[in-house]
Amino acid sequence: MKVAVVGATGMVGNIMLKVLEERSFPLTELIPVASERSVGKKVKFAGKEFEVVNLETAVSMKPEIALFSAGGDTSLEWAPKFADAGTTVIDNSSAWRMNPANKLVIPEINAQLLTRDDKVIANPNCSTIQLLMALKPLHDSYKIKRVVVSTYQSITGTGVKAVRQLENEYAGDEGEMAYPYPIHRNALPHCDVFQDNGYTKEEMKLTNETKKILDDESVNVTATAVRIPVVGGHSESVNIEFEKDFDESEVRKLLNEFPGVTVKDNPSVNTYPMPIYAEGNDDVFVGRIRRDYSQPNTLNMWIVADNLRKGAATNAVQIAEYLIDNDLV
């Protein structure tokens, strides 16, 4: 089982390597892949060093699985080349997510759709993954009509450049800017690029990806995505209108029983999800569960997860595990 990690020297790529090692992923050969400027560098995995190769070399090595986290342009160009060589690609960029020919997968929700013919599989947006991990069991029971979500997103979602900007601003140093404004002691209602409709690309991902993953065009989602000076994970304030009424205790039970979700909700002792709990953890944490008294059949929740792990690397590795466990590669 040869596994390539494309973008192995990047922020998500590093976490992919870490998650593969932590989960004792059954690979026999690791192929770390990066841009030409990183070729020849060494990455550590399972106590050994592996030399970084370029994309062309990696394709010629014909890995069974390639985990991509190298940006949309790279994915559009190279994922088909890997697929033509017989490799199953799991892509973390937005390049293939809304393509009708490509599955968009959260393993706990819709991995059963995967077949041996799926050679380029899309990993959803980080904010979408944690949102749907909490929505899926409730949708199955009460049928969601509308979701209003406001995100509070970690700078790590932008990458190393954003982390450096925050560190520089915190230290009072000049440096390269990842954002059009300071992020230290600030909140930017601006994640990704603005679209013609006034929403950002990130906000539209939450809308469109939700419908695709739930396979339900009737679920309406409207989002406001905000970048905040946090390193450890994304948070979401979510208001959900259902077709059916619900019982709050049953909601908590449904969430707690859903794999990968942990309810952390006891306001009487100040227990609620926060990024400091989520960082380094693969679970999606849900709290502040309460009825919205302004209209019928409506619920408020607060959802937090590590955007680099379940929101990216871990979800991709879980897809790969599913493929192996079900003899699909």
The residues assigned a catalytic role are 126, 234
Please name every residue paired with 263 in a beta bridge, in sequence order, or none if there are none.
Answer: 286
The half-sphere exposure of 314 on its side-chain side, counting CA atoms within 13 A, is: 20
Ranges assigned E (strand) in 92-233: 120-122, 144-153, 220-227
Please choose, from the candidates 124, 120, 103, the residue with its C-alpha nearest in 3D space to the C-alpha of residue 112: 103
What's the rounded Cα separation, in Å, for the pair 241 and 7? 39
Length of the chain, please? 329
Long-range CB pairs of 71-77 (<8 Å, 24+ gap) are: 71/7, 74/6, 74/7
What's the rounded Cα separation, in Å, for the pair 208 and 321? 26
Task: Give 115's contacts (C-beta < 8 A, 6+ positions apart).
Answer: 328
- The string of DSSP letters for 82-104 reads HHHTTPEEEE-SSSSTT-TTS-B
Backbone angles phi, psi at 262, to 5 degrees: -125, 125
**SS3 at position 151:** strand
Look at the block and give the residue holding tokens 């059949």.
297
